[in-house]
Amino acid sequence: MEKNSKTPPFPSPPPRNVVFLVYDGYQPLDLVGPMQVFALANRDALHPPYVLTTITARPGRVHASAGPDILVDEGLERLAQADTVIVPGGPGVDAACADIAITDAISLSQPTVRRLCSVCTGAFLLAAAGVLDGRRATTHWGRCDALQAAYPRIAVEMTPIFVNDGNVWTSAGVTAGIDLALALIENDCGYGVAASIAKKLVVYLRRPGGQAQFSETLLMQESAGAQAFSALMTKVSVSPNRRWSVEALAAEMGQTPQTFQRRFKLAMGCSPYAAVQDVRLSRARLMLETTTSGISLIADRCGFTSDEQMRRAFQRKYGLPPAAFRSHFGIEG
């Protein structure tokens, strides 16, 4: 039987519907920043993975907080077909929170969409809809206290760039919406796609400094108990090539190895070995992206026992061996 050469061996998955919900007084960057990230994912793909739609409560002209108005043809009924919903912030968010049509639509969509997201003060709209009750969330640092005071059932976190709790994602202010969109695309399409988009946008896939010295996995599991280990993980990050055995880590904390392992896993959600490995891999990735150092030198400086050990660990985490990763995303890529 003759095969049809035009039929691909596997059908491409249907594109995901990403819906942006705007209102009068929305912040333009909260909309167009994440939208551009998804648009680049579509531009570079053989089969575009996303369909992008902008909706509003009453279709027609929508006033932005700055810049030109936009004309929006689609209404809230499009939430029924959404895979991912993104709600921007802006000075008009307080009025939007008082619009029952908007808050009811968001509340009804939360159980059916795969991801419900806010950028900046868009978190207030999710809160007004009741979908943040009992969840961790963040918003612009300047409005965190106000969010906590208005909605005491939310565990508001001031520090993270973004927070994921269940199918709800909230991000910090303004440009953090780009970080959020990159994380969503990494979740869908893999690290390589997200890193390539970040490079085109001339932004970091992981913001450097402060918390971003640690892996996103550890950041998302941050808790009050984890604070006890922050100084220790800083030491690991500064000197990843030290021999960080459980005994050495425990000695830094003044604990027995057994007590240390138990307390660390309870607070951090992973083993000490996994946490150290994650720090080493993050450092290796950064060196591959930003230096021309040889693979052997990077492996040594990041604390791996050999090139091969780093290669296997790196490929498991990022989906590419170090050399291939550098050719795509390094400074000479």
Tokens, residue 108? 């009804």
Of the listed ranges 80-89, 100-109, 273-282, 319-328, the least confidently predicted one is 319-328
C-alpha 319/C-alpha 107 separation (Å) is: 37
Contact (CB, 8 A) for 243 and 192: no
Confidence band (pLDDT; 50, 70, 90) for 240? very high
Q: Is the pLDDT of residue 280 over 50?
A: yes
Contact (CB, 8 A) for 72 and 62: yes
Percent of the chain with pLDDT over 90: 64
**Between residues 213 and 189, which one has the greater pLDDT?**
189
C-alpha 147/C-alpha 154 separation (Å) is: 8
Contact (CB, 8 A) for 124 and 156: no
Percent of the chain with pLDDT over 70: 89
Contact (CB, 8 A) for 32 and 179: no
* String of DSSP letters for 13-68: PPPEEEEEE--TTB-HHHHHHHHHHHHHHHHT-SS--EEEEEE-SS-EEE-BSSS-
Contact (CB, 8 A) for 72 and 55: yes
Of the listed ranges 15-19, 106-110, 138-142, 194-198, the least confidently predicted one is 194-198
Q: Is the pLDDT of residue 173 over 70?
A: yes
**Interval 181-205: pLDDT, tens:** 999 998 899 888 888 888 888 776 6
Residue 97, amino acid = C
Q: Does the CA dihedral 180-151-167-109 come out positive or negative?
A: negative
Q: Is the pLDDT of residue 206 over 60?
A: no
> Could you give the angle at the alpha carbon of 102 between the alpha carbons of 89 and 155, nearest 5°?
55
**Interval 42-88: pLDDT, tens:** 998 888 999 999 999 999 999 999 989 999 999 999 999 999 999 99
Where b means 16+ CB within 10 Å and e means fewer, 60-85 reads eebebbeeeebebeeebebbeebbbb
Contact (CB, 8 A) for 227 and 220: no
**Interval 9-47: pLDDT, tens:** 556 778 999 999 999 999 999 999 999 999 999 998 888
C-alpha 279/C-alpha 287 separation (Å) is: 12
The Cβ of residue 160 has, within 10 Å, a number of other Cβ atoms equal to 20
C-alpha R_g of the chain: 22
Strand 115-118 vs strand 84-87: parallel, antiparallel, or unpaired?
A: parallel
Of the listed ranges 152-166, 174-188, 212-226, the least confidently predicted one is 212-226
Closest CA to 275 of 196, 223, 218: 218
Write down all domains in the chain, each with its CATH number in brackets.
16-201 (3.40.50.880), 210-329 (1.10.10.60)
Q: Give the Å distances, CA to CA, from 190 to 182, 208, 331.
A: 10, 20, 20
C-alpha 80/C-alpha 46 separation (Å) is: 27
Confidence band (pLDDT; 50, 70, 90) for 216? very low
C-alpha 62/C-alpha 317 separation (Å) is: 43
